[in-house]
Amino acid sequence: MKSAAEGLSGFNPLSAHGLRDEVYDAILEVLLAGQLPPASPLSIDGLAKSMSVSPTPVREALARLEHTGLVTREAHRGYRVAPPMSRDQITELVDARLVLEPSALYRAMQRDSEALLQSLKSAFTTHKQWAAKMAEPHALEDPSQVKRYFESDWMFHQAILDHCGNRYLSRAVNSLSFSVHRMRQTLGTQVSDAPFAIEEHSAILDAVGTGDPDAAADAMTGHLNKVLGRCLSDAPAEP
């Protein structure tokens, strides 16, 4: 794994226009790509030098990233990549999704189940395509392909949020997306549950097709409970 500065090597010097956002996006991309090991230090000066910027926008970017959960700050030690999630944290994260996502799906069904169904069919087709790619030889060795697979998985859930008609509910679920990413990094980049995810998304799609909001919400609840079971099964043992 690379140091933070090495992870950002190769970036062109950033322009003064929109500098804070560019620095934030550059560091975020490195974190999401899993190029830095958990708990590794994030040197403000080192990052600033690698991007040819002053320390100020880097400091501001790290402060923003702390709110995503991808970065932590410790007194007298500075910023670090967030450590692996504990089993309790994984359980709490999925529990939060269990509170929010079945409700979002229920509301989306009540608003326009047919429009939702069409969006989910499109997202499901893309998810299946990427799941098939993950079954190809050496696909798991390409982090960019693994990232695209997980993005296609999340976009199925995003389609529901786009139709739920509640911006605050949508934001609440999306605010968990960085934690979901961190959970995946804790568990490793293997896409071992792709067939299960496809099967469970298919069950959600079938439930939406019945036009029954309760059946759809129950299918989402079942999916997330199975996700939790797989995650806890794959999570490293704790002392």
Burial 163-195 (b: 16+ CB within 10 A, else e): bbeeeebbebbeebebbbbbbbbbbeeebebbe
Sorting pLDDT into bands at 50, 70 and 90, what band is 134?
confident
- Fold classification of 4-81 is Arc Repressor Mutant, subunit A (1.10.10)
Within the chain, residue ranges assigned H as helices are: 4-7, 19-32, 44-51, 55-66, 87-134, 143-163, 167-174, 177-187, 194-209, 213-234
pLDDT of 237 > 80? The answer is no
Ranges 75-89, 183-197, 210-224, most confident: 210-224
DSSP string, 101-145: HHHHHHHHHHHHHHHHHHHHHHHHHHHHHHHHHHTSTTGGG-HHH
pLDDT on residue 8: 59
Residues contacting 173, CB < 8 A, separation 6+? 97, 100, 101, 104, 157, 161
pLDDT on residue 7: 58
Helix crossing, 213-234 with 87-134: angle to 10°?
A: 100
From the list 239, 3, 168, 188, the residue with the least C-alpha distance to 84 is 188
pLDDT on residue 13: 55
Q: Where are the domains of the chain?
A: 4-81, 87-234
Render pLDDT for 105-133 as a digit per residue (tens, 0 to 9). 999 999 999 999 999 999 999 999 999 99
Q: Is the pTM of this model over 0.85?
A: no
pLDDT on residue 192: 67
Pick the CATH number of 87-234 from 3.30.1120.10, 1.20.120.530, 3.90.228.20, 3.40.50.20: 1.20.120.530
CA distance 198 to 124: 8
pLDDT on residue 236: 78
Beta-carbon count within 10 A of 215 CB: 16
Bigger pLDDT: 137 vs 201: 201
pLDDT on residue 227: 95
How are beta strands 71-74 and 41-42 bridged, if at all? unpaired
Task: Provide the 8-state DSSP code for 235.
Answer: S
Task: Provide the 8-state DSSP code for 76.
Answer: T
Render pLDDT for 173-187 as a digit per residue (tens, 0 to 9). 999 999 998 898 888
Render pLDDT for 209-219 as a digit per residue (tens, 0 to 9). 999 999 999 99
pLDDT of 152 > 90? The answer is yes
CA distance 65 to 23: 11
